[in-house]
Amino acid sequence: MDASLKTLDRYLLREWLRILLLAELGFPLVVIIIDITDKLGSYLARGLTRGAVALSYLYYLPEIMFLVLPAAVLFATVFTVGPLARHSELTAAKASGMSFHRLVRPLFVAAAAVVLFGIIIGDVAPVGTLRRGELLGERPVHTTSLRYNFVYRADRGWVYAIRSLDTGAGQMQDVIMEREGSGPEYPTIEVAASSATYRPKGVGRGWTLRRGAVRYLQGAAGETAFTFDSLRIRDLRERPIDLLAEPKAPEEMRFFELGRYIDALARSGSDTKKLRVERALKLAVPFTCIVVAVFGAPLAISGPRTGTAWGVAVSLGTTFVFLLLVQLTKAIGAGGVLPPLLAAWTPNLLFGGAAAWLLRKTKT
């Protein structure tokens, strides 16, 4: 009996993984083909080479794979479990004393493992999205030489809050810089300066901060502070023109990167509810894989005689409703009706409750 269980488990997992891979690679391919058909002419009209366009879609691939991952898991579950009912394998398994819950358990475990893959690819996708925007020339840039009251998220963990920037004169007014730390060995650094000037060449090249203070926050160990008349910071490498670039969009930021940006905006008094929903979705979407697997398994056997059409209808219908719920709860969270974290996880909670009810009602 144990040997037969292991054989059946391996068979189900093999079929599930085969369909998952086909869907996870096939759906992005369809999206890319549609996008190429629609936009290739405009890309070439901008002077982009075919090689650059091809590379842009390679950068785009992680984002598409992240977005379609729950749908791929749902298709894999429906088209693995559904045939068991149509071809009497499920009846035979029940006759041998195996419950439906035990039969599909390996698929739920595999879906849980896919969550980790989703989190990893979700953290890689923003890098590709940013590179694609730069390659296609779609990153917005200010045409003016002045910018006021903005926050700039720099590399190396720094966030700048700047009251005014004049790229022509190479000057900034009321500059606050912060790098979040992790403890006494890597303290949080806060730098405030009344002004800064930029020298593009020669001795003293770069930014010089003037008339300000520096604080090292070391947690329980206390803090160290000092004032300065002028100060140069090695990590402040951005040119004035670089600071005119628009902040990254949420989909162009990694999870912790977006968190730092949200904190900086919150300190400046900006409304961050929409961004907090976007950040929570970076974890909520991968965890959807478990929910849709549990939801799809009992649905797959509810119409055993309807064949492939039933599986496609269930998968596409569920995906459409789920995406609609995500967009709805994003708007609700951004409007403050629900806390951002709860808004992001509401689709999972609703589908999770429905999945638990369906699984409990399934004849075992």
Assess whether 101 and 164 both reside in one domain: no
Is the per-residue pLDDT at 141 higher than 80? no
Chain segment 9-20, per-residue pLDDT in tens? 788 888 889 999
Residues 51 and 103 reside in one and the same domain: yes
In a domain, 288, yes or no: yes
* pLDDT at residue 82 greater than cutoff 50: yes
Q: How confident is the model at residue 193 (pLDDT cuts 50, 70, 90)?
A: very high
**Local structure of 24: helix, strand or coil:** helix
pLDDT band at 93 (very low <50, low <70, confident <90, very high): low
- Cα-based distances in Å from 22 to 170, 290, 308: 53, 19, 16
In a domain, 259, yes or no: no
Res. 364 pLDDT band, cuts 50 70 90: low
Interacting residues of 47 by C-beta distance below 8 A, sequence separation 6+: none
pLDDT reading at 179 higher than 70 = yes
The answer to whether residue 267 is domain-embedded is no
H-assigned helices in 272-339: 273-300, 308-334
pLDDT at position 1? 43
Domains in the chain: how many in total? 2
Same domain for 104 and 180?
Answer: no
Distance between CA atoms of residues 75 and 312, nearest Å: 8
Domain boundary among 223, 245, 267: 245
Same domain, yes or no: 211 and 151? yes
> Which of 245, 267, 295 lies at the terminal end of a domain, its last residue?
245
| pLDDT greater than 80 at residue 280 | yes
Domain assignment of residue 42, yes or no: yes
Same domain membership, residue 151 and residue 97: no
Q: Cβ neighbours of residue 177 under 8 Å, at least 6 residues apart?
A: 158, 159, 160, 161, 189, 190, 191, 192, 233, 236
**Residue/partner pairs of 211-217 with CB below 8 Å, 24 or more apart:** 212/175, 214/189, 214/190, 215/189, 215/190, 215/191, 216/187, 216/188, 216/189, 217/181, 217/187, 217/188, 217/189, 217/190
Residues in the chain: 364
> What is d(CA 32, CA 44) in angstroms, rounded to the nearest whole number?
16
Largest CA distance in the chain: 85
Q: Tell me what pLDDT residue 230 has.
A: 94
Give me the pLDDT at residue 85, please.
Answer: 61
- Distance between start and end Cα atoms, the chain: 18
Asked if the model's pLDDT at residue 133 lies above 60, the reply is yes
Residue 260 inside a domain? The answer is no
Q: Which of the two residues, 169 and 313, has the higher pLDDT score?
A: 169
Q: Which residue has the higher pLDDT, 25 or 156?
A: 25
The full DSSP string for 341-355 is HHHHHHHHHHHHHHH
Lowest mean pLDDT among 138-142, 160-164, 324-328: 138-142
Same domain assignment for residues 178 and 130: no
109 and 24 in one domain? yes
- In a domain, residue 348? The reply is yes
- Which is more confidently placed, 247 or 318? 318
Q: Is residue 330 assigned to a domain?
A: yes
Question: Token pair 């002004």 is at which residue?
Answer: 195
Of residues 153 and 340, more confidence is placed in 340
For residue 88, what are the CA distances in angstroms to 49, 121, 294, 301, 351? 54, 38, 21, 11, 28
Stretch 60-88: mean pLDDT:
82
* Together in a domain, 124 and 232: no
pLDDT score for 5: 52
Domain that holds residue 309: 2-138+276-361
Residues 44 and 78 in one domain: yes
Percent of the chain surpassing pLDDT 90 = 23
Query: Are 339 and 300 in the same domain?
Result: yes
The verdict on residue 270 lying in a domain is no
User: What does the pLDDT look like over 20-55, one tens digit per residue?
Assistant: 999 999 989 998 999 889 888 888 888 888 888 899
Q: Is residue 36 domain-shared with residue 126, that is, in the same domain?
A: yes
Q: Answer whether residue 295 shows pLDDT above 90.
A: no
Q: Which two tokens stand for residue 69?
A: 């991952």
Q: With 70 as the cut, is the pLDDT of residue 120 above it?
A: yes
Give the pLDDT band (50/70/90) at residue 351. confident
Q: By C-alpha distance, which of 300, 322, 308, 326 is closest to 77? A: 300
Q: Same structural domain for residues 347 and 232? A: no
Backbone phi, then psi, for 164, in 5-degree steps? Answer: -150, 145
pLDDT > 70: percent of the chain: 85
| pLDDT (0 to 100) of residue 58 | 92
State the pLDDT at residue 180. Answer: 83
What digits encode the pLDDT tens for the residues 208-259?
Answer: 999 999 999 887 778 899 999 999 998 898 888 878 766 667 777 888 888 8
Of 228, 245, 262, the last residue of a domain is: 245
